[in-house]
């Protein structure tokens, strides 16, 4: 059982965009330090590549959240599975996320994190699917707007697979995978 994956954004294009985002962030945070909060697991590949392109001092922390939903959609009920290790008080926080889809996860999370008194809080996302938005989220730094298609690669998974692809691809499940997909109902997505 294998899925066909079509390239949506090639590796070189993703890498060039991350370099561009890193330069912009370095410029905007000149004279400051930036505290990156990577949202696990999907944000991890992007956060590492981005961190390498930022020239101001960088610290890193990780948070894992899950939304209760089926295999491909979020319900908006967000649970913190792994909280941050360090305090964010007084820090210039930049949240790094793989994709903003319905927007529900970050719409919930940003106000929660604001209560922890960072000096500032901004959001950087590699991808956004504006057509899917249900909850408002302001994305300060965005890689690419993409159409309403389920994508994998660069940290994004389909049933925990394909995170390691170095490009953004669209999964075309085989016909007999339809059953496997509906069995995903009620699982948590990250």
Return residues touching Mg ion (CB under 5 A): 42, 98
DSSP annotation of 177: G
* Closest CB to Mg ion among residues 47, 58: 47
Query: Contacting ligand IMP (CB under 6 A), which of 35, 91, 104, 122?
Result: 104
Distance, in Å, from the CA atom of 159 to the CA atom of 44, rounded to the nearest integer, reads 17
Residue ranges in 42-61 that form contacts with ligand IMP under rule CB under 6 A: 42
Asked whether position 151 contacts ligand IMP by CB under 6 A, the answer is yes
Tokens of 27: 């410029």
- Told to judge if 86 belongs to the known catalytic residues of this protein, a careful annotator would answer no
CB atoms within 10 A of CB 164: 11
Q: In the complex, what is the shortest distance from the CB of residue 180 to ligand IMP, in angstroms, rounded to a whole number?
A: 16
Q: Which does 139 bind (CB under 5 to 8 A by kind): Mg ion, ligand IMP, none?
A: none
CA 167 to chain CA centroid, nearest Å: 15
Phi, psi (degrees; rounded to nearest 5) at 95: -80, 130
Catalytic site residue from 3, 15, 85, 101: 101
CB 61 within 8 A of CB 116: no
Q: At what angle do helices 44-52 and 11-28 cross, to 10 degrees?
A: 60
Tell me if 101 contacts ligand IMP by CB under 6 A: yes
Q: Which is nearer to ligand IMP, 13 or 73 (CB)?
A: 73
Catalytic residues: 101
Residues forming contacts to ligand IMP in the complex (CB under 6 A) are 42, 67, 74, 97-105, 150-152, 156-157, 189-190
């Amino acid at each position: 059982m294998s899925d066909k994956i079509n390239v949506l954004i090639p590796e070189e294009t993703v890498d060039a965009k991350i370099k561009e985002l890193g330069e912009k962030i370095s410029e905007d945070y000149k004279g400051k330090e930036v505290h990156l909060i990577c949202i696990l697991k999907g944000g991890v590949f992007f956060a590492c590549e981005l961190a390498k392109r930022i020239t101001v001092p960088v610290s890193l922390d990780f948070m894992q959240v899950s939304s209760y939903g089926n295999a491909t959609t979020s319900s908006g009920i967000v649970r913190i599975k792994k909280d941050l290790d360090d305090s964010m008080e007084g820090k210039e926080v930049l949240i790094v996320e793989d994709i903003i889809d319905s927007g529900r996860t970050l719409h919930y999370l940003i106000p929660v994190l604001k209560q922890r008194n960072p000096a500032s809080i901004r959001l950087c996302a590699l991808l956004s699917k504006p057509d899917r938005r249900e909850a408002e989220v302001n994305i300060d730094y965005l890689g690419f707007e993409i159409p309403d298609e389920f994508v994998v690669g660069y940290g994004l998974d389909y049933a925990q697979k394909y995170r390691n692809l170095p490009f953004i691809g669209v999964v075309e499940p085989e016909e007999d995978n339809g059953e496997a997909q509906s069995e995903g109902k009620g699982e948590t997505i990250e």
